[in-house]
Structure 1
Amino acid sequence: MRAIQYDQFGDYDVLRAVDIPKPVPDNGQALVRLTLAGTHPLDNTVRWGKLPAGAVKPFPVTPGTIGVGTVEVPGASGPAAGSRVMISGGRYGIALDGTWAEYIVVDPAHLLAIPDDIDDTSVAALSAGAGYLTAYLALTELAGFQPGGSVLAPGSGGAVGQGGVEIARHLGASLAITTATTTAKAELSRAAGYEVIDLTRESLREGVARLTGGKGVDVVLDGVAGPITGQALGSLARGGTLVSIGYSAGIQADINVTDLIWKAASVRGFQFAMFTQEQINRTNSLLLDLVARKEITPLVDRVFPLEQAAEAQRHLIEGGPFGRVLLSL
């Protein structure tokens, strides 16, 4: 079967297209024939060798944390043969070989059947980057978000920025804000119906103050970090919460500690290991229903063929996409 692998840590050029044996399921595993896979900033972090020692399987590694396809061999439980499914949870592409391949063996507990009225591309866009899943769990389980509250999810082109705005609205936010680093991206955001701060025209704190009448936001979903974190913390309302999710703009942040003290603010770290598989599956099922009812609309920036996985990953990290970047198998 066709797959993408790497046998050393490094830049995009360590990714190579290979022809390897089709995997054989055992111990109740399921075999899935994949049609689409997603790219994720985490794929980049793993490939660079930035995770703790022992977190990544021995080389060679097949990347890819999410995928959509059809069950070819059912497992001991879970969806039947012929079912269209999405990967839900698991450490694929990290501790186990991932979805950048024609076939994958998975734990049946990590599969969710896709409703007939949702196409594969919409499901792949929903799960790529895990922005919608992250936003729902962060708001409902970590931030104590209540209907009528306000949310800032920086990064209008990214998974958490887009997913954060749409999920906040679904949960009853009075205001859901994102940010754009270019005027062109700000215009795309407005065309998609987002409330956006154009960071080329005003600072994040100025924009939040303008949109909230000086009050600040109740929750920040920070998938960007770097210089954004300090500004976002300072944009919280009194008693607000910042959930630290990702670090696409860097792992170092400068904060003013008085923004923590005087605002009585909270900072929470997010990782999927905090949640059970049942919570993840239940939330993904809810999100699939929201897609089917068109209450949320995951966006796709570009679909690359599998053999162009390196270009796809570069486009995700460096190309400033507006929407998800997918691989077609």
Structure 2
Amino acid sequence: MRAVQYDRFGDYDVLHLAEVPRPVPRDGQVLVRLAMAGIHPLDNTVRWGKLPPGAVKPFPVTPGSIGVGTVEEPGALGPAAGTRVMISGGRYGMDADGTWADYIVTEPAHLLTVPDGIDDTGAVALSAGAGYLTAYLALTELAGFQPGNTVLAPGSGGAVGQGGVEIARRLGASLAITTATTTAKAELSRAAGYEVVDLTRESLRDGVARLTGGKGVDVVLDGVAGPITGQALGALARGGTLISIGYSGGMQADINVTDLIWKAAHVRGFQFAMFTQEQINAANVKLLDMVARKEINPLVDRVFPLEQAAEAQRHLIEGGPFGRVLLGM
């Protein structure tokens, strides 16, 4: 079978397509033939070797934590052969080989049946970047979100920016705002139905103040960090909460501590290790139902063939996509 691998940490060029033996499931495991896989910013972090020692399996590593395919060998506890499934949870692409391959061996607990009303692209787009899942868990489990609250999810082209806006609205937010770093992206965001602050025309604080009548937002889902974090903290309403999720804009942030003090702000970090596999699966089942009902609409920027995985990863990190970046087998 084909699998994308790397034999050392480094830049995109360490990725290569290899012919490898099809994996053999152990007792209780499931063999899945993959149809599509997603690209996640974490794949880039792992490939660079930025995780703690021991967090990544010995080389060679096949990246990819996200995928949709069909069960070929269900084992004792897996879904029936022929069932279309989505990877849900697990540390694939890190301490186990991942989804950038024709086949993957998984644990039954890490698989969810994909409803007939959702095609492979829709299912992978939902999970790629984990933006919808992150937003759902952050709002329902960490932020104390209530219907009628206002939410800011910066980064209109990114997974958390798009997923955050759609999930906030679905959960009953009175206003859900994202940001754009170019006027072109701002126009795409408005065409997709998002309320957006065009950062080429006004500051984040000014845009949020304009849209909220000066009150600020109740919740920030910060998947960008860098210079955005301090501005987003300043855009909070009194008693508001900022959830720190990612750092596509940089790992260092400057804040004005008076924004913490005078706003009585709450700041929390997000990671999937905070949640059980049962919580993750339950959230993904709800999200799949939202897609099937067309209550949310995960956007796709581009689908690359498997052999162009390096170009796909570069496009996600450097190309400024508007929507998810996927791999087709």
After superposition, residues 264-303 of structure 1 pair within 5 angstroms as 264-303=264-303
Residue in 1 aligned with 2:18? 18
Residue in 1 aligned with 2:115? 115
How far apart, in 1, do the equivalents of 2:17 and 2:47 lie?
Answer: 15
Residue in 1 aligned with 2:309? 309
Residue in 2 aligned with 1:183? 183
How far apart, in 1, do the equivalents of 2:247 and 2:324 lie?
Answer: 17
How far apart, in 2, do the equivalents of 1:177 and 1:283 lie?
Answer: 23
Q: In 2, are the aligned partners of 1:65 and 1:92 still within 8 Å (CA)?
A: yes
Deviations 1:32-52 (A, max 9, x none): 000000001000000000011
1:79 deviation in Å? 1.3
Residue in 2 aligned with 1:55? 55
1:267 deviation in Å? 0.4
After superposition, residues 67-78 of structure 1 pair within 5 angstroms as 67-78=67-78
Residue in 2 aligned with 1:141? 141
1:76 deviation in Å? 2.4
Q: In 2, are the aligned partners of 1:222 and 1:243 still within 8 Å (CA)?
A: yes
How far apart, in 1, do the equivalents of 2:3 and 2:265 lie?
Answer: 46
1:117 deviation in Å? 1.0
Residue in 1 aligned with 2:222? 222
1:75 deviation in Å? 2.9
Gapped regions of structure 2 (runs ≥ 5) = none
How far apart, in 2, do the equivalents of 1:241 and 1:52 lie?
Answer: 29
Residue in 2 aligned with 1:106? 106
How far apart, in 2, do the equivalents of 1:292 and 1:181 lie?
Answer: 31
Residue in 2 aligned with 1:169? 169
1:77 deviation in Å? 1.5
Deviations 1:26-83 (A, max 9, x none): 1210000000000010000000000111111111000001000000000322311100
Q: In 1, are the aligned partners of 2:157 and 2:320 still within 8 Å (CA)?
A: yes
Q: In 1, are the aligned partners of 2:28 and 2:78 still within 8 Å (CA)?
A: no
How far apart, in 1, do the equivalents of 2:13 and 2:76 lie?
Answer: 38
Residue in 1 aligned with 2:231? 231
The size of the alignment, in residue pairs, is 329
After superposition, residues 147-166 of structure 1 pair within 5 angstroms as 147-166=147-166
Q: In 1, are the aligned partners of 2:30 and 2:105 still within 8 Å (CA)?
A: yes
Deviations 1:110-163 (A, max 9, x none): 000011111010000000000000000000000000000000000000000000
Deviations 1:165-217 (A, max 9, x none): 00000100000000000000000000000000000000100100000011000
Q: In 1, are the aligned partners of 2:29 and 2:78 still within 8 Å (CA)?
A: no
How far apart, in 2, do the equivalents of 1:155 and 1:77 lie?
Answer: 40
How far apart, in 1, do the equivalents of 2:275 and 2:228 lie?
Answer: 26
Q: In 2, are the aligned partners of 1:151 and 1:165 still within 8 Å (CA)?
A: yes
AA paired with 2:102? E
1:22 deviation in Å? 0.2
Matched, 1:201 2:207: no
How far apart, in 2, do the equivalents of 1:257 and 1:60 lie?
Answer: 45
Residue in 1 aligned with 2:245? 245
Residue in 2 aligned with 1:88? 88
Percent identity, aligned pairs only, is 85
Residue in 1 aligned with 2:30? 30
Q: In 2, are the aligned partners of 1:75 and 1:107 still within 8 Å (CA)?
A: no
How far apart, in 2, do the equivalents of 1:108 and 1:317 lie?
Answer: 31
How far apart, in 1, do the equivalents of 2:300 and 2:8 lie?
Answer: 30
How far apart, in 1, do the equivalents of 2:79 and 2:162 lie?
Answer: 30
How far apart, in 1, do the equivalents of 2:31 and 2:255 lie?
Answer: 47
1:301 deviation in Å? 0.3
How far apart, in 1, do the equivalents of 2:202 and 2:57 lie?
Answer: 45
1:290 deviation in Å? 0.3
Secondary structure, in 3 states, of the residue corresponding to 2:278? helix
Residue in 1 aligned with 2:261? 261
Deviations 1:253-302 (A, max 9, x none): 00011100110000000000000000000000000000000000000000
